[in-house]
Amino acid sequence: MKKLISAYNKIKWVFTEIGKIYSNETSYFSKKRIESGIAFIVGQWGMVYFLLKNIERMTPSDVAIWAGVEFALAGYMVSQIQKEKKTTEDQTDENV
């Protein structure tokens, strides 16, 4: 029973923090990261769906282009995260 209550409290905390993202209160989560993560997941599912539906008709060059787009998307996301980390670190250094 204690595990169930503990799990409920953790789930409740997550939803409370997500709710704070769209309010004036400070949240544990970053609105920008949540939204970009959701966009990334939707994009990935779309790409996988496209591949699964069209793999029989795709030529090797089509697969190479598809893989290139996948790597470009992943590289862009990593680049954005690293840029955000650097900006956050620079702001932290200025406050010290």
For residue range 64-77, list pLDDT tens digits in order: 888 888 888 778 87
Range of the domain at 32: 2-95
C-alpha distances in angstroms, 9 versus 1, 2, 30?
Answer: 12, 10, 21
Query: Residue 92: its pLDDT value, please?
Result: 60
Number of domains in the chain: 1
Show the tokens assigned to 82.
């690293």
* Helices 31-54 and 60-95, packing angle to 10 deg: 170
Whether the per-residue pLDDT at 61 is higher than 80: the answer is yes
Residue 54, by phi and psi: left (phi above 0), alpha (psi -120 to 50) or beta? alpha
Query: Residue 83: its pLDDT value, please?
Result: 78
